[in-house]
Structure 1
Amino acid sequence: MSQSDLLELVRFIFDNTYFTYQGRYYRQTLGAPMGEGSLATVLEHFNSYNTHLQFTAEEEVDNSIPFLDIRVIRMGEVLRTDWYNKPSSSGRYLHYRSCHPQNMKLNLVTQMKTRVLRLTHPTFHSQCIFKLKKLFVMNGYPIKLLNKLLCNTSSSPPVEVTMSLNTDAMIDRADIVYATIPYIPVLSNKISLIFKDYKHIKIVKTMKHPLFKLVFSRLKDKEKEEYESGVVYSIPCGSCERTYIGQTSRWIKERITSHKSDARRNLRTCALAIHANNNDHVIDYSNTKILFKEPHYHKRLFLEMLSIAVTDNTMNTKQDTNNLNNIYSYLIELSKNFASTNS
């Protein structure tokens, strides 16, 4: 059977489904055809096409069926929802002793409570709160704290509040400057307090987890350096000590090919080609090095200018660092003078 014939057959079945109810005939206008045994037949037919692409179907058991993280329960003609966890669920949440801000842990508890209450019918609220409390105890949360957050507050889901549009507030929000700092217990909170009186500065604490890099290895092979893109790179001269520094969004392999072409055609638009032809020097393309990887274009331009400024004996022209802020130039010069004085 061709694909078009199969689709036509399915379309015919869906458009011509009738059933009887209390002596009257009805035409089904939405959904798949109803009837005992049809689901198993369709499932078997679909799964016969490809052993690597298999469908499953969840059937009602004891008047209930799970859907995502809720269980829909049929009580006569009424449907009610309860909180559901898959058998494979580990019950792990952010541990209380983990290196995270305290407000993040408190918000986790309260937001989980809000989510559970919104998903479930009021008749299941008490047992859901008990179950949630048990899970957080397993994750190291103090019982007194959980009693305060889960049991000593309302068991009703919060009411949605619609806020009126405030143009002045939107303008003020646009003026807020956000700054990120790594989260270090005690120290990060003290730094945040320094900026407490500055309403237009918001400090955001970020989490760094170098442990993940140690515990979880990268199973995929690294890309070859010649296929890296979005990089700042350096190419040395094989005849002198000078180095060319550039940036590209292309593969480094393609950029080197362009440099070779520019040098061969003696183009005056590239400092590397100018240096090679004016001095009759041989460029050592085989020792090209990637200095930085940065996908963001403007950040990559800054890193290129910074690399040119801190590197001695470059082929680059002065124009390549014209957009570098004077404060950076001053700090680089200060650093070079300090290094030469102490050498």
Structure 2
Amino acid sequence: MDFIVDCILGDIPFIIPFLKKYVDDLIAAVPEDKVAFIRDRFNRQHECIKFTVEEETDMSVSFLDTKVMRTPQNRLMLDWYRKPSSSGRYLHFCSNHPHRQKVNMVLGLKNRIQKIAHPTLRHNNLKILFGLMRENGYPEGLLKRLIYNATPSGQPQNGDSGASTSNTQMRTIYSSIPYVRGMTHALVNLLKTPNLHVVSRSEFRIDRLYSRTKDRIDVGKMSGVVYRIPCSMCDKVYVGQTSQQLKQRISQHKSDTKNPNKICALADHVRLEDHVMGYDSADVLEWELNTRKRCFLESYHIKRQTNSMNFKKDIEGVSSIYAYLIHFDLFSESGLSIVR
């Protein structure tokens, strides 16, 4: 877009008072009788790129989330703009998200209004924001403190105000844990260190609420996965991980079983027991591109399999605490009780 705009502006025979761009959206002030000329000039730049024009109506035009208004004195004013199709739905107060995230959303919208809207229009926009947040379940008292509070505390909170300035040169490590109401906040405080920043994340994502719109990838073509291959002649299973496509890793397993020098739990099982693995029944347990996380997930699933043929060294990296939690989880799933 920068290239196109630069090419066109050099050929324009009149002055354009201003032109602003955001990605592929443009707003410009041009003479009233030159609108068609500008549109045609932009559309002639490349046959595959076509522009549409939205002209000023009632002395205003919308641009993203702003409305640019022209006063009778021929000055410009900005207002907060919402499309007529806007549903008014934001993060609901009863949703399973940290309280800080809800507060910061309200403060972010408030600050957006204060930056966009002309001072004479801010109060009315803040009233609209107040009504929208009430419709999304936010308590009236909380909204009054957040929206109509003029103190510096009205800025978004990041929870780092207590960090020591002497540690600013240290490398900061960022991590996240699932949000569980009543538990995550205490864990974040427990894990917090000068160079470790832990935040909570919601597990209720959009991709878990709606069905997939694309065809599923064939299991054999998936890469960066933790997989499981059952034995077709006994109840044993093999759990592994690979950064390659699964079908390539399975081909390597088949080759390993024919090479007595290859040390692998799957190959040893096939050679010693004279069994045949059910390669066609292989399934994917996890998908993870990060190698370290994928290796841990591999150990986790090996530990969960009571009939695993993997070597013991494959789960040496799992601490005793995680091992206990995995076994506890298995007991819970099977409906058994642990007797102490």
Q: Which TM class, normalised by the smaller chain length?
A: 0.5 to 0.7
Partner of 1:38: 37
Q: Which amino acid aligns with 1:263?
A: T
**Shift in Å, 1:114:** 1.6
**Change beyond 3 A, Cα 1:61–1:241:** closer
| Secondary structure, aligned partner of 1:245 | strand
Question: What pairs up with 1:40-55 in 2 under 5 angstroms?
Answer: 40-42=39-41, 45=44, 49=47, 54-55=50-51
| Secondary structure, aligned partner of 2:256 | helix
> Residue 151 in 1 paired to residue 148 in 2?
yes
**Shift in Å, 1:271:** 3.8
Matches of 1:154 and 1:310 in 2, distance apart? Answer: 53
**Shift in Å, 1:117:** 0.8
Larger radius of gyration: 1
> Residue 209 in 1 paired to residue 208 in 2?
no
Partner of 2:270: 276
| Secondary structure, aligned partner of 2:249 | helix
> Residue 219 in 1 paired to residue 213 in 2?
yes
Question: What pairs up with 1:1-343 in 2 under 5 angstroms?
Answer: 15=10, 17-19=12-14, 36=34, 37-42=36-41, 45=44, 49=47, 54-75=50-71, 76=73, 78-151=75-148, 153=150, 167-170=165-168, 174=172, 180-184=177-181, 187-188=182-183, 192=185, 200=193, 204-209=199-204, 213=208, 216-239=210-233, 242-277=236-271, 280-309=274-303, 311=305, 314-325=308-319
Matches of 1:235 and 1:317 in 2, distance apart? Answer: 15
Q: Could you tell which deviates more after superposition, 248-257 or 290-299?
A: 290-299
| Secondary structure, aligned partner of 1:220 | coil
Kept in 2: contact 1:179–1:203 (CA 8 A): yes
Q: Could you tell which deviates more after superposition, 222-231 or 269-278?
A: 269-278
| Secondary structure, aligned partner of 2:90 | coil
Matches of 1:218 and 1:282 in 2, distance apart? Answer: 35
**Change beyond 3 A, Cα 1:70–1:256:** same
Matches of 1:145 and 1:329 in 2, distance apart? Answer: 43
Kept in 2: contact 1:183–1:206 (CA 8 A): no
CA deviation string 1:208-260 (max 9, x = no partner): 3389745x222333222222222222334445554433211122111111222
| Secondary structure, aligned partner of 2:147 | helix
Kept in 1: contact 2:92–2:137 (CA 8 A): yes
Matches of 2:180 and 2:132 in 1, distance apart? Answer: 26
Q: State the TM-score, normalized to the length of structure 2.
A: 0.68
**Shift in Å, 1:264:** 3.8
Q: Which amino acid aligns with 2:203?
A: K
Q: State the TM-score, normalized to the length of structure 1.
A: 0.67
Matches of 2:176 and 2:11 in 1, distance apart? Answer: 62
**Shift in Å, 1:38:** 0.7
**Shift in Å, 1:87:** 1.9
Kept in 1: contact 2:220–2:245 (CA 8 A): yes
| Secondary structure, aligned partner of 1:89 | coil
Kept in 1: contact 2:226–2:297 (CA 8 A): yes
Kept in 2: contact 1:14–1:32 (CA 8 A): no
**Shift in Å, 1:90:** 1.7
Kept in 1: contact 2:191–2:198 (CA 8 A): no
| Secondary structure, aligned partner of 2:138 | coil
| Secondary structure, aligned partner of 2:299 | helix
Kept in 2: contact 1:96–1:105 (CA 8 A): yes
Q: Could you tell which deviates more after superposition, 96-105 or 326-335?
A: 326-335
**Shift in Å, 1:70:** 1.2
**Change beyond 3 A, Cα 1:285–1:67:** same
Partner of 2:25: none
Q: Which amino acid aligns with 2:290?
A: H
- In structure 1, runs of 5+ residues without a counterpart are 1-6, 21-30
Matches of 2:242 and 2:93 in 1, distance apart? Answer: 45
Q: How many residue pairs align between the two structures? A: 306
| Secondary structure, aligned partner of 1:304 | helix
Kept in 2: contact 1:181–1:203 (CA 8 A): no
Kept in 2: contact 1:267–1:274 (CA 8 A): no
**Change beyond 3 A, Cα 1:328–1:127:** closer
Kept in 1: contact 2:192–2:198 (CA 8 A): no
